[in-house]
Amino acid sequence: MRVMAQLAMVMNLDKCIGCHTCSVTCKQAWTNRGGTEYMWFNNVETRPGQGYPRQYQDQEKWKGGWQLNRRGKLTLKSGSRLKRLLNIFANPDLPTVSDYYEPWSYDYDNLLSSPAMDTTPVARPKSLITGENTKITWGANWDDDLGSGPEQVGKDPLLSRLSEQVKLEFEQTFMFYLPRICEHCLNPSCAASCPSGAIYKRAEDGIVLVDQDKCRGWRQCVTGCPYKKIYFNHKTGKAEKCTFCYPRVEVGIPTVCSETCVGRLRYIGVMLYDADKVLEAASVTDDKDLYPAQLGVFLNPHDPRVVAEAERAGISPEWIQAAQDSPIYKLIVDYQIALPLHPEYRTMPMVWYVPPLSPVVDVLSETGHDGEDARNLFGAIDALRIPVEYLAELFTAGDVGPVRAALQRLAGMRAFMRSVNLGEEPDPAIAASVR
Ligand code: SF4
Ligand code: SF4
């Protein structure tokens, strides 16, 4: 056993209201310089949707991307050896700026100075970089609040895979928000793909950083990160990414996104894990085994043997205590209500999500309306407005079992607390499920 400590985050998606405060405050703190205009270290996507950059989840689109072979080594996905070698230098599989977005405002003069017309004048989009009127075709969260529907099939690869199984008529439409930062992966493919060795994972807390002096601007990290959470600064010629606000966490204050989150949905904590098991877990054959495999990497911080090994590994008593007190450990391991984002990318992501439960469909009265009473939901998880299958594509490589179990527990907890708050006797079956 080789114990290491990792800062991690869990986001409770039921609480996200899509206000983008986290994105704006992060941008103000970290990417308000020239060359970083298009970068959002934190972004909030509407699901279903294309994401940011556009279609980042379509791993086939980035054909030159990297994948782990059975021995846990990163290799380019396709092509002959020579082609793969050439690929390292040519690096053609990068999102373009139009897949991210170009910052724009509106040409309000068009409104104010327009002559009398038959139709109402419109304010045209105007590029904030070139100052020209432009035909903007994409922006971060461009598909905000569109929800599911036949027109989203083909744009959201997850929805496209499920279009046969998931009903997409108007009455069944669904949407929710997914805030995203760098995953500070246990097995970061950005670091593995950097020819200059400029990306490193800090031993003390697992934060993944780019050494700006060593970076030579190869951009292999952009290709290599399946979450597309590392960006190229076109002014400095260097890669940049979320730093988990390390100057803040080093002095004991939370990340900017956590501190300013309106929904208070971000939990930060310390996880202890067995570094010797990471590559083995990342290399399991079946994608559906990756979520349990990653769970198996985490160590119980209350186990005296783990504590002794952690002390031997030089982890400070404060950090061991933080791991023991961590809400993250409880949400991920004890209750198993937090799940990893796309474990099939095999980088062992460390930002996990409590899947959204609401809105609750009133399944007992069979009206199909959204219901308030979570007792109706308990035992009827498959009747949720947000299809379990869609959540499974996001969080468990398509395995609906763990998602259903997490939602069941959340529904039970909601019903239990409602009974307690109303002074009612909780349903014994529900009470048993939350204990
Ligand atoms: Fe690297 Fe991407 Fe993982 Fe962040 S999410 S650590 S940039 S591979
Ligand atoms: Fe969601 Fe919080 Fe970000 Fe608002 S600040 S979009 S509630 S994560």
Number of Cβ within 10 Å of residue 157's Cβ equals: 20
Spacing, Cα 176 to ligand 1 middle (Å): 23
Of 124-128, 233-237, 311-315, 374-378, give the lowest mean pLDDT range: 374-378
**Tens-digit pLDDT profile for residues 207-247:** 999 999 999 999 989 988 999 999 999 999 999 999 999 99
The reported pLDDT for the residue numbered 39 is 94
Confidence of residue 372 (pLDDT cuts 50, 70, 90): low
74 vs 26, higher pLDDT: 26
H or E element in which residue 317 lies: helix 317-325
Residue to substitute in 28, 261, 264, 353 for testing ligand 2 pocket (most ligand atoms within 8 angstroms of CB): 261
> Where does the chain hold its CATH 1.10.3650.10 domain(s)?
355-433
CA-to-CA distance for 9 and 266, rounded, in angstroms? 7
CATH number assigned to the domain covering 265-353: 3.30.70.20
> Does 136 score more than 80 pLDDT?
no
**Tens-digit pLDDT profile for residues 279-328:** 999 999 999 999 999 999 999 999 999 999 999 999 999 999 999 999 99
The reported pLDDT for the residue numbered 83 is 52
> Where does the chain hold its CATH 3.30.70.20 domain(s)?
18-100+141-246, 265-353
The reported pLDDT for the residue numbered 393 is 95
Confidence of residue 362 (pLDDT cuts 50, 70, 90): low
Pocket of ligand 1 (CB under 6 A): 182-185, 188-190, 208, 225, 227, 229-230, 241, 347
The reported pLDDT for the residue numbered 102 is 82
Of 281-285, 331-335, 368-372, give the lowest mean pLDDT range: 368-372
How big, in percent rounded to 5, are the helix, strand and coil portions of the chain? 35, 15, 50
Structure tokens at 315: 């982890």
CATH number assigned to the domain covering 355-433: 1.10.3650.10
**Tens-digit pLDDT profile for residues 103-116:** 888 888 888 888 88
Ligand 2 contact via 262 beta carbon (within 6 Å): yes
Side-chain-side CA neighbours of 432 within 13 Å: the count stands at 3
Give the best-scoring range by mean pLDDT among 10-19, 112-121, 418-427: 10-19
Ligand 2 contact via 192 beta carbon (within 6 Å): no
Structure tokens at 157: 């690869």
Spacing, Cα 323 to ligand 2 middle (Å): 25
CA-to-CA distance for 307 and 326, rounded, in angstroms? 15
What crossing angle do the helices spanning 304-312 and 317-325 adopt, rounded to 10°?
A: 150
Ligand 2 contact via 261 beta carbon (within 6 Å): yes
Q: Which atom of ligand 2 is nearest to the CA of 179?
A: 8
Residue to substitute in 11, 265, 353, 354 for testing ligand 2 pocket (most ligand atoms within 8 angstroms of CB): 265
Ligand 2 contact via 48 beta carbon (within 6 Å): no
**Tens-digit pLDDT profile for residues 48-59:** 999 999 989 887
Spacing, Cα 271 to ligand 2 middle (Å): 23
Which residue pairs from 420-429 have beta carbons closer than 8 angstroms and sit at least 24 positions apart in sequence?
A: 427/375, 427/378, 429/378
Of the candidates 51, 346, 269, 56, the residue with the CA atom closest to the CA atom of residue 178: 51
Ligand 2 contact via 20 beta carbon (within 6 Å): yes
Distances (CA, A) of 184 to 190, 229, 245, 249: 10, 10, 12, 14
Residue nearest to atom 5 of ligand 2 (CA): 261
Q: Which atom of ligand 1 is nearest to the CA of 349?
A: 3
**Tens-digit pLDDT profile for residues 144-162:** 877 777 777 778 888 888 8
| Mean pLDDT, rounded, for 22-27 | 98
Spacing, Cα 242 to ligand 1 middle (Å): 9
Confidence of residue 206 (pLDDT cuts 50, 70, 90): very high
CB 207 within 8 Å of CB 186: no
> Does 430 score more than 80 pLDDT?
no
> Does 22 score more than 60 pLDDT?
yes
Of the candidates 228, 234, 258, the residue with the CA atom closest to the CA atom of residue 245: 258
The reported pLDDT for the residue numbered 196 is 93
The reported pLDDT for the residue numbered 144 is 83
CB 343 within 8 Å of CB 349: yes
Ligand 2 contact via 19 beta carbon (within 6 Å): yes
Q: Which atom of ligand 2 is nearest to the CA of 260?
A: 5
> Does 200 score more than 90 pLDDT?
yes
Residue % of the chain over a pLDDT of 90: 55
Write the single-letter amino acid at 249.
Answer: V
Residue 149 burial (10 A CB sphere; 0-12, 13-18, 19+): middle
18-100+141-246: CATH, from 1.10.510.10, 3.90.110.10, 3.40.50.80, 3.30.70.20: 3.30.70.20
Spacing, Cα 224 to ligand 1 middle (Å): 9
